[in-house]
Structure formats: structure tokens, C-alpha cells
């Protein structure tokens, strides 16, 4: 379908129930009937359209599946909290370098870029801004100077570029903290006390951080973001389908932090479209969660600073 509701909001709306879109600029996405009837600009009026385009392009490229746009307030809030600031030059440049990595099959491969189609890769407003971040990557030696062929650029990630990418992927390597995102309810207290907490601290040597069990001043959102930024990885349990857990997991992924996904087996069927493909640890009893979480941490991350074996 040629119509894109994001980069061409005045285009004719689909006349059928067809809800999937594939735009060279904005990526693959789908939406419910309310969104395409009311329009993106009305439903997502608090989000600059170029940032929304960049977010959808990144998510659809990362997961390989269409991103789901809904009219739900909580879903819109989750997107809003994960967007880079428009004046965050370094973050936008980082987004562009990671986009080049996604397209690279092997080190040394030349990657094509089309400014008119690809400027959302860096959450840019236009091609001119896109060139600015491209020049930054060149000047800092993260990519080679691109050649121009048939109006498109071709560039290659340098060794220094790959080194930078690796540093993005393993932030806070020496941190003892692990942020735990989950439903704070009596129904899940045992899952934390007898499962997650023991796996993190007794079995793997990390310090578990649960925001409702910490003393702090100021706004809770600011404290959550600060603790995630300082964590080695996060554990996100989706039992109960709390929107805050989705945000916290997404924010951690945006920082390049590993996320270990868990969910009670009775709630797996309710997992959100965007995270369903992740490798969740499913559990029935807290003791099972402890054992599976311990094994996953030891296998993919390693022991923390307070555990030697």
C-alpha cells in the first residue's frame, strides 16, 4: 500500500479494514481503525511527527515485525518516554551508528544510505540534519568518508566504530545493581521475595533494586530512570501486564542494557504484540522462577561482583 499515515498524513485513508503499512521512510507498522480514521496527527499530537517516524523505523528494523500503533493513552506515553530529545546530538548520532550496524552483514561491508528515505534513522527533521550526524560520525572516525553513487551515500563502519558499538552494548559492566521492573502487588510478592531476589543476590551476586523498596526524594520517574541508567541489566516480569514494566524494559533496551524477560505462565497469552517474540522465562512457582533466572543470568551475563562461583 502506497499510503503512509505518518509521512503523508493528508493521503487518502484506506477504504477497507487493511491496517498494515510499509513505508521506505517510516518503516513497517500497523494501526487500529481509530488511528487511521482520526489520523496520526490527532492521536499522537503530543509527539513531533519526525520523532514518531524515527521510533517506528527503529522498532520495525530491530524486531523485523510491524510496530503496532494504538490510540491507548498508556501506549502513547510509553513511546513518548523512550524518544530522544530533539537537541540530544550525541544520542541521535548513536542511533544512526546503531542503524548502520543493523544493516551490516559483516565488518567491512559498504552500506548504502538514501538521505530522503533514511533521515528517520537518526530521528531527524530533514536531510540537512541527517547530514550533520553523518558528518559527526565521519569526523570522529566511526565511519569512513562516504562515497556518492547515483545520488546515494555508501559508507562503512570503521574499527573504531565497532569499538563504540560494543561499548554501547555492554554499559555499566562493573555495576552491582540490577533494576527489577514488575507488578507491585501481593500476588507477585512471593515471586520477588522467593524468586527474583534470591536469584539475583544469593545465587548470582548482584544487588537487587526495586523502586517501591527504596527511600528517595523527588519524582519517582526520575528515580526509576536514574537507577536503570546505573544498572548492569534489568529483570522485567510482565505478570499482570503493567504498562510501567513495558516502559522500563524499553528504556533499558534503548540504553543498550540487557533485559531478562519473565512472566507467569498464566499471563503469557496477554503479552503485548511488541514483546511477544522475546525469549521470556515462564514460571509457575517462585522456586521455579529462581532456578530459571539464576541459570539465565549465569549463561548470558555472568556472576556479579559479590559472587565468585
CATH top-level class of 177-299: alpha beta
**pLDDT one-digit tens code per residue, 79-95:** 887 888 899 999 999 99
What is the pLDDT at residue 151?
Answer: 61
What is the pLDDT at residue 296?
Answer: 92
The torsion region of residue 289 among left (phi > 0), alpha (psi -120 to 50) and beta comes to alpha
DSSP 124-159: -SSHHHHHHHHHHHHHTTSBPPPEEETTEEEE-B-H
Instruction: Choose the most confident range, by mean pLDDT, from 60-74, 119-133, 171-185, 241-255.
Output: 119-133
Which CATH code is given to the segment(s) 89-169?
1.10.10.10
What is the pLDDT at residue 76?
Answer: 84
Within 8 A by CB and 6+ apart from 10, the residues are none
Task: State mean pLDDT over 52-59.
Answer: 93
Does the structure show a pLDDT above 60 at 18? no
Give every strand in the sheet of 147-149, ordered side by side: 111-113, 152-155, 147-149
**pLDDT one-digit tens code per residue, 131-166:** 999 999 999 999 998 777 666 788 999 999 999 988
What is the pLDDT at residue 153?
Answer: 86
- Tell me what percent of the chain is helix, strand and coil, each rounded to the nearest 5: 45, 15, 40
Within 8 A by CB and 6+ apart from 245, the residues are 181, 182, 183, 236, 237, 238
Name the band, by pLDDT with cuts 50, 70 and 90, for residue 216.
low
What is the pLDDT at residue 62?
Answer: 83
The three grid cell numbers given for residue 287, joined into one nine-digit string: 522456586
**pLDDT one-digit tens code per residue, 177-201:** 999 999 998 889 999 999 999 999 9
The CA distance from 233 to 250, in Å, is 12
What is the pLDDT at residue 259?
Answer: 94
Burial degree of 240 (CB within 10 A; 0-12, 13-18, 19+): middle
**Which residue in this structure is represented by grid cell 545493581?**
177
Name the band, by pLDDT with cuts 50, 70 and 90, for residue 1.
very low
Lowest-confidence segment of 8-17, 111-120, 277-286 by average pLDDT: 8-17
Residue 201 per-residue DSSP state: I
What is the pLDDT at residue 231?
Answer: 94
What is the pLDDT at residue 131?
Answer: 92
Write phi, then psi, for 126 (nearest 5 degrees): -165, 180
What is the pLDDT at residue 113?
Answer: 92
The CA distance from 240 to 188, in Å, is 9
CATH 1.10.10.10 in the chain, residue ranges: 89-169
CATH 3.40.50.450 in the chain, residue ranges: 177-299
Does the structure show a pLDDT above 70 at 112? yes
- The answer to whether the beta carbons of residues 24 and 61 sit under 8 Å apart is no
- Bigger pLDDT: 173 vs 237: 237
Task: State mean pLDDT over 236-260.
Answer: 90
Does the structure show a pLDDT above 90 at 278? no
Amino acid at each position: 500500500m502506497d499510503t503512509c499515515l505518518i509521512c503523508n498524513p493528508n493521503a487518502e485513508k484506506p477504504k477497507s479494514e487493511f491496517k498494515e503499512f510499509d513505508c521506505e521512510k517510516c518503516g513497517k507498522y500497523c494501526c487500529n481503525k481509530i488511528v487511521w480514521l482520526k489520523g496520526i496527527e490527532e492521536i499522537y499530537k503530543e509527539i513531533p511527527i519526525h520523532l514518531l517516524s524515527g521510533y517506528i523505523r527503529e522498532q520495525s528494523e530491530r524486531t523485523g515485525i510491524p510496530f503496532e500503533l494504538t490510540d491507548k493513552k498508556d501506549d502513547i506515553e510509553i513511546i513518548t518516554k523512550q524518544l530522544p530529545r530533539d537537541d540530544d546530538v550525541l544520542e541521535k548520532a548513536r542511533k544512526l551508528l546503531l542503524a548502520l550496524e543493523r544493516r551490516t552483514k559483516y565488518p567491512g561491508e559498504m552500506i548504502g544510505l538514501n538521505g530522503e528515505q533514511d533521515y528517520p534513522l537518526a530521528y531527524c527533521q530533514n536531510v540537512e540534519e541527517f547530514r550533520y550526524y553523518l558528518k559527526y560520525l565521519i569526523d570522529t572516525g566511526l565511519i569512513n568518508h562516504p562515497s556518492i553513487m547515483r545520488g546515494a551515500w555508501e559508507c562503512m563502519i570503521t574499527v573504531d566504530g565497532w569499538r563504540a558499538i560494543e561499548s554501547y552494548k555492554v554499559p555499566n559492566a562493573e555495576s552491582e545493581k540490577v533494576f527489577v521492573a514488575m507488578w507491585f502487588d501481593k500476588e507477585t510478592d512471593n515471586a520477588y521475595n522467593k524468586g527474583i531476589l534470591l536469584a539475583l543476590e544469593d545465587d548470582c551476586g548482584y544487588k537487587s533494586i526495586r523502586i517501591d523498596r527504596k527511600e528517595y526524594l523527588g519524582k519517582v520517574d526520575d528515580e526509576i530512570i536514574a537507577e536503570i541508567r546505573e544498572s548492569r541489566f534489568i529483570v522485567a516480569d510482565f505478570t499482570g501486564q503493567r504498562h510501567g514494566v513495558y516502559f522500563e524494559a524499553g528504556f533499558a533496551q534503548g540504553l543498550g542494557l540487557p533485559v531478562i524477560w519473565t512472566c507467569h505462565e498464566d499471563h503469557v497469552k496477554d503479552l503485548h504484540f511488541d514483546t511477544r517474540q522475546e525469549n521470556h522465562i515462564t514460571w509457575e512457582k517462585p522456586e521455579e522462577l529462581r532456578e530459571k533466572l539464576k541459570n539465565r543470568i549465569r549463561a548470558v551475563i555472568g556472576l556479579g561482583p559479590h559472587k565468585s562461583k
